[in-house]
Amino acid sequence: MRAQSIAAARVASLLVAATGLTVLAGWFLASPNLTSFYLRGPTVKTNAAIALICGAIANVILISSSNRTKWMHAGRALAILQMMIGGLTLSEHIAGWDLRIDQLLATEASGAAATASPNRMGPPASIANLLLGLSMLLAESRRRRRRVRAQRLALFTCLLTLLPIMGFAYGYSQLYTIERITGISLANSLALLMLAVAILAGRPERGVFALLTREDEVGTLTRGLLPPALLLPFVMGWMLARAMRAELIDAGFAISTMSLVLIVGLAWLIWRTGRQMSASLDARLDTERALAESERSLRESDRQKTEFLATLSHELRNPMAPIRFALELLDGRADVALRARQTIARQVEHLTRLIDDLLDLTRITRNKLELHARLIELATVLNDAVDATASEIGKAGHQLHVEMPNQPIWLEADPDRVVQMLTNLLNNAARYTDAGGEITVGATVEDGKALIYVRDNGQGIAAEDLGVVFDRFVQVGSARHGGLGIGLALVKGLAELHGGDAEARSEGRGKGAEFRVRLPRANAPAPVKQAAPAVRADSLRILVVDDNADAADMLHILLTSCGHDVLVAHSGEDALQQVAGFVPVAGLLDIGMPGMSGYELAAALRHQPATAGMFLVAITGWGQEEDKHRALAAGFDAHLTKPADPEAILALLAKRFQQPGMHETLA
């Protein structure tokens, strides 16, 4: 906006300079049409035309040049010349002397309209040129007080030139034809007014135009008010003056009408200003409320993050302690070693479940979780969830009641994810129910959908917490009960992915709680014939590659105990050197190895004729969906995430090589 104001000031100044040049041409060519744009009024004098040219060019230079340049000095010199022309002519009017500067360029006969002396501009033009030249000099001062005075001088010049313009418009010649007081031409009045406005507009960083060019609601409001405030009185006065001159109305009627119009106009301006300010205030309050809400949300998120990290640290340390002690006991008595192994297995399973829940919640948030849906019976997954949590619920001394549906309820769903939802709900109920409490899990049909419910008579949920229990990292209530606050969020996310929803109910604290999951039902499957079991094949030659020696050795023990011939290598390079004499049919490869990665090793094996048809399984700590896709693209046939379940590894090999009983050897 300020750049536009400066550009407009340049254009206006150039128009003023063009006006001055046109007038000079009129004097040299003796053309009255060019020396007076209003033939019945005074002419623009030659000195007045020169002053206009000097002032206009000075303003263009001063607003376009940087300080302390030759152009800047030229602009100041022109402003001084304009000021001198106006000042010397004014002194002639005041002192009554003749400095012989009026007819240096062109002569004029005595008796010209509104002219005290031939070719001498009148007092209004003299004062205006003096003030405008001085205004431009003060405007470039480093002192703020002088710059303020420059603005005031330009504004006063605007008022001084508006008076004769109103005289021309209203038809009152006294405002522009009194020789030693008001004599000035219409063209000169308009040019001087335009130059005064250009001086103000060319410096929009201060004064009147600093307000007009603001980009906020204040600038918008000011720009909207200024045109009606200037035009309404002017236009109304012009209409009334014309009517009075035509003797259509008298002075009393004109004054009364003018007063009424001004009252109505000012009231309208005040009302419009108030309305705009009210709208602006409402918008600002809405913005402030939005910012306050955003700040509150950020603080709450930061609090939840801090609390989550503290809880995560606690939850990760919990299983590490028994694992460390169990490792110390493995070298002891057989019964103690057995308990140690069982402890390690339980805690590793807990850690794995914890990490899986975190990854699943991240995948749901990023819309990256893929469901492997198939037709399942709800009672089956319900039993699986009960079996998975029965031990923990029993340790807490709870009584678990299972209410199976009377008729089979079929779902088109991912069975692992449904079990995951149920185990999270059961674990949550066990966590928030005092020892010896009762937990009920069951399923039924409601409104055409499958309804799974988990009820307890535990601590319950306050009414104000019902709306946030499914939020991430939120743990309602004041007491700590373990967990990361992601189980219920995972339940809700998985339910919505299946096209269902999750709901929490409670009559208040101390009155228990009920969690409900609704899932779409599916049609029952048609009966199918059982296929004959496949014949078990011989033992397999399997390549195991992992830079972690302990992980490689455990896989070696697992596979050899199943009767397979296993080659172990701890790097990609080592594997390629040994594989030629071994010729494996399957390979379990780690991905993140130093030197040659698992991806590079898989590609190398695929390029060797002897190993091109190997069944390759990627075993890695990277378990995102994009990691699985990358593994398949690199030549792997399957992808398992560490720590891989031994049953899953054996089942994968059995499925590929038609060995249905192979995975039962661990039992």
Render pLDDT for 640-662 as a digit per residue (tens, 0 to 9): 887 777 888 888 888 888 754 44
Evaluate if residue 633 carries a pLDDT over 70: yes
Contact at 8 Å (CB) between 206 and 212?
Answer: no
Strands (E) located in 461-590: 501-505, 513-520, 541-545, 565-569, 586-590
Q: Which H or E run includes 376? A: strand 374-377
Evaluate if residue 325 carries a pLDDT over 70: no
Looking at residue 90, its pLDDT comes to: 95
Contact at 8 Å (CB) between 448 and 499?
Answer: no
Q: 261, exposed or middle or buried, with CB in 10 Å at 0-12, 13-18, 19+?
A: middle
Mark 384-416 as b/e (b = at least 16 C-beta within 10 Å). bbbebbeeebeeeebebeeeebeeebbbbbbbe
Least confident of 90-99, 159-168, 311-320: 311-320
Evaluate if residue 667 carries a pLDDT over 50: no
- Going by pLDDT thresholds of 50, 70 and 90, the confidence category of residue 663 is very low
Task: Name the residue type at position 639.
Answer: H
- Going by pLDDT thresholds of 50, 70 and 90, the confidence category of residue 315 is low
User: Cα 144 to the chain's mean position, in Å?
Assistant: 40
Evaluate if residue 528 carries a pLDDT over 70: no
Strands (E) located in 195-315: none
Tokens of 266: 């000012």
Per the model's pLDDT, the better-predicted residue between 273 and 575 turns out to be: 575
Contact at 8 Å (CB) between 26 and 34?
Answer: yes
Per the model's pLDDT, the better-predicted residue between 231 and 532 turns out to be: 231
Assigned superfamily of 374-520: Histidine kinase-like ATPase, C-terminal domain (3.30.565.10)
Looking at residue 582, its pLDDT comes to: 86
Looking at residue 189, its pLDDT comes to: 93
- CATH number of this structure's domain 541-666, picked from the four choices 3.40.50.2300, 3.40.50.300, 1.20.1370.10, 3.30.160.60: 3.40.50.2300
Q: Which residues contact 176 (CB under 8 A, 6 or more apart)?
A: 41, 42, 114, 164, 167, 168, 182, 183, 184, 185, 186, 189
Tokens of 491: 């339940």
pTM of the predicted model, to two decimals? 0.48
- The per-residue pLDDT for range 226-285, each reduced to its tens digit, is 888 788 888 888 888 888 888 888 888 878 887 888 788 778 877 877 777 777 778 888
- Going by pLDDT thresholds of 50, 70 and 90, the confidence category of residue 289 is confident
CA–CA distance, 75 with 72 (Å, rounded to integer)? 5
- Going by pLDDT thresholds of 50, 70 and 90, the confidence category of residue 335 is low
Evaluate if residue 349 carries a pLDDT over 60: yes
Q: What percent of the chain clears pLDDT 90, i.e. is strictly above it?
A: 33
Looking at residue 534, its pLDDT comes to: 39
Looking at residue 664, its pLDDT comes to: 40
- Show me where the domains of the chain are located: 2-213, 374-520, 541-666
Contact at 8 Å (CB) between 248 and 239?
Answer: no
Looking at residue 3, its pLDDT comes to: 87
Residue 588, classed as helix, strand or coil, is strand
Least confident of 129-133, 484-488, 503-507: 484-488
The helix-helix angle for 334-365 and 251-329 (nearest 10°) equals 160
CA–CA distance, 554 with 645 (Å, rounded to integer)? 12
For 36-45, what is the mean pLDDT?
Answer: 78
